[in-house]
Amino acid sequence: MSLEATRQELIGLIPRLRRFALALTGTHADGDDLVQDALERALTRLHQWRPGTRLDSWVYRIAQNIWRDRLRRARFRGLHTPIADAADVMGADGRVDAEAALRLSEALSALAQLPWEQRIVIALVQVEGFTYPEAAEILEVPEGTITSRLVRGRAALERLMAGAEKDL
Amino acid sequence: MITDEELCAFADDMLDPVATARVRSAVEADPLLAARVERMRRQSAALHAAFAGELAKAAPPHLARLVQEGRAARSQAWAGWGQQAAIAAAVGLIAFGLGWSSRPASGTFDFDRRGGRVAGVLAAALEAQPSGDASSEGIAVTLTVPTADSSFCRVFTVNRYGRGAAGLACREADAWKIAAYAETPPREVGSEYALASGTLPDLVLEAAELRRLGDPLDPAEEREAIARDWRTTDE
C-alpha cells in the first residue's frame, strides 16, 4: 500500500477513532486530544506497521496505549479523569437531540466508572463492534481475558445504566 | 453448566457452532438464563445506540490535516512522557535487534546501590545523549526534566543482554545519581507490538512524583543544558 493510500485509510478511521476515544475519555475534547496523539504516533511509526495486517487494529492499539499512559500520568500528577459532561453531547450544528444526548451522557458517565481495563474492552466490543478475537489482538491479551473483562464490565454497567435500559 | 463467560459470548454471537448449540439449549430450558441473555443484548443495543450518532459528527478538520500533511507536532510537556518512553524503548529495541544479539557488549554501566552514583556507559549517556536519540550501548534517554532545586533529572531505558529496565537519574554535585530503577520485561525483538506498549514502571513515575518534577525540557533547552554541562548557575 502506498503512503498516500495509507494516509487516506488513516483519515477514514478518524470518525471511528473519535467515537472510541470518546468512550474512553468521556469528553469530546479529551477524546480528540487522544485521537490527535494517536494519529501523530501512528504517523511517526508508519514504518512499523506491517502491510497486510489491519491498520485499524494497529491504530486502536496505539490509541489505547496512549490513553493508559495518560491515566498513569494523571494519577502521577494528582489529576482526575474528567467526568462526562452533559453539555458535551451537543451536536456539531449546536442543536441538542435531547434524548440522544441523555443516552450518550448516561453511557459516558457509566463507562467513566468502570476500571480502565473493562472500559477499553467494552469500548472495543460493544461500542466499536470488534469481535472478541479482534479485541484480543488489539490489546495483545488472550481471548479469555477479553471475555472475563466483558463479563465484569457488563455486570457493572448493568447496575450503572439501569435507568437507560428501562427507556428502551 | 453454563459459565458467565459462555453466556456473554453467546449473547454476542461469539461462540463456535457447537458451543452455541449447547448454550442455546440451556438458555431455552432456563428462563433465568434467558432473561440474562436478554439483558445483555439490551445493554449492547443501548450502548450501541448511545454512540450511534457519533460517526456522523464532523471531526475537527485539524485531525485529517495532520494526517494529510504528515505533520507530527511535538506534544507538549508531560503529554510526551508515555510517547517518548515508547519511542525510547523502540529505539533501544532497534539498536538491540541490529547489533546486540551478535556482538558482545563492549561497555558496562554500573551504579552504587547505596549512593546510586552512576558510572560507565550509562553515565556517558546521561551526560551527553539527547533525549529521543538512537540508543547507545542499549541505553536510550527518554526525556529531561528540571528539578525544583535548579538541577535536572533524566529518564532512561535500558535494553541490554536480553533484559530491560527503566530509571530516573538526577544530577547532584556534578554526578548522576539513580533516583529510581526498575526492571521491565525485555523487549521482544522484532515485534512491533512491543514497541507500541512501552510504558514506564510505576516505580519510576512515583520517584518523579516525589521529586515534584516540572515539565520536560524541549530539545533546544536540552541541547543548551548539555552544552553547559548541566550547570544552571552563571559562574
**Which range among A152-166, B106-120, B185-199 has the greatest average pLDDT?**
A152-166
Distance CA A48, CA B25 (A): 46
Higher pLDDT, residue A152 or A103 = A152
Return the beta strands (E) in chain B as ranges: 109-111, 118-119, 139-146, 152-160, 163-172, 175-184
Q: What is the extent of the structural domain holding B14? A: 4-56
* B167-192 confidence digits (pLDDT tens): 888 898 888 888 777 777 665 443 32
B124 plus B202 within the same structural domain: yes
- Give A82 to chain B, closest Cα distance, Å: 16
Q: For residues A80-100, give the mean pLDDT.
A: 52
Q: State pTM to two decimals.
A: 0.57
B140 plus B213 within the same structural domain: yes
Residue B88 has pLDDT above 60, yes or no: no
Of A3, A47, A33, A2, the C-alpha closest to B87 is: A47
- Give B172 to chain A, closest Cα distance, Å: 23
Q: What is the pLDDT of residue A3?
A: 75
Q: Report residue B5's pLDDT band, with 50, 70 and 90 as the boundaries.
A: very high
B166 plus B200 within the same structural domain: yes
Distance CA B148, CA A7 (A): 43
Give the nearest partner residue to B9 out of A36, A62, A147, using CB atoms. Answer: A147
Give domain limits for chain A: 3-167
Residue of chain B nearest A44, judged by CA positions: B72
Q: For residues B161-166, give the mean pLDDT.
A: 73
Show Cβ contacts of residue B172 under 8 Å, excluding neighbours closer than 6 positions.
B151
Residue of chain A nearest B69, judged by CA positions: A7
Distance CA B143, CA A158 (A): 43
Which of B6, B36, B38, B63 should one mutate to test binding to chain A, selecting the residue with the greatest count of A CBs within 10 A? B63
Distance CA A166, CA A164 (A): 6
Q: What is the pLDDT of residue B137?
A: 72
Higher pLDDT, residue B146 or B7 = B7
Give the nearest partner residue to B196 out of A35, A65, A126, using CB atoms. Answer: A65
Q: What is the pLDDT of residue B189?
A: 40
Question: How remote is the C-alpha of A39 from its chain's centroid?
Answer: 14
Q: Which residues 93-152 on chain B approach chain A with CB closer than 8 angstroms?
A: none
Asked if the interface predicted TM-score (ipTM) of this complex is over 0.90, the answer is no
Of B129, B134, B125, the C-alpha closest to B87 is: B134
Q: Which DSSP helix (H) or strand (E) runs through A133?
A: helix A132-139
B100 plus B142 within the same structural domain: yes
Q: Chain A residues with CB inside 8 Å of B51's CB?
A: 19, 22-23, 104, 107, 127
Residue B33 has pLDDT above 90, yes or no: yes
Show Cβ contacts of residue A42 under 8 Å, excluding neighbours closer than 6 positions.
A10, A49, A58, A59, A62
B121 plus B196 within the same structural domain: yes
B30 plus B82 within the same structural domain: no
Neighbours of B150 (CB within 10 A): 9
* B46-71 confidence digits (pLDDT tens): 998 899 889 888 888 889 988 887 64
Of A25, A107, A12, A7, the C-alpha closest to A66 is: A25
Instruction: Tell whether B69 is covered by a domain.
Output: no
Q: What is the pLDDT of residue B112?
A: 54
Tell me the residue length of chain B: 235
B90 plus B161 within the same structural domain: yes
**Residues A62, B66: C-beta atoms closer than 8 Å:** no
Distance CA A60, CA A140 (A): 12
**Residues A49, B192: C-beta atoms closer than 8 Å:** yes
The dihedral through the CA atoms of B28, B15, B21, B46 has a sign that is positive
In the sheet where B163-172 sits, what is the strand order?
Answer: B139-146, B152-160, B163-172, B175-184
Q: What is the pLDDT of residue A156?
A: 93
Instruction: Tell whether B43 is covered by a domain.
Output: yes
Higher pLDDT, residue A30 or A51 = A30
CATH architecture of the domain formed by A3-167 = Up-down Bundle (1.20)
**Which range among A151-155, A159-163, B207-211 has the greatest average pLDDT?**
A151-155
- Give B17 to chain A, closest Cα distance, Å: 15
Number of domains comprising chain B: 2
CA-based angle B179:B181:B185, to the nearest 5? 160
B209 plus B96 within the same structural domain: yes
Q: Report residue B90's pLDDT band, with 50, 70 and 90 as the boundaries.
A: very low
Instruction: Tell whether B235 is covered by a domain.
Output: no
B138 plus B209 within the same structural domain: yes
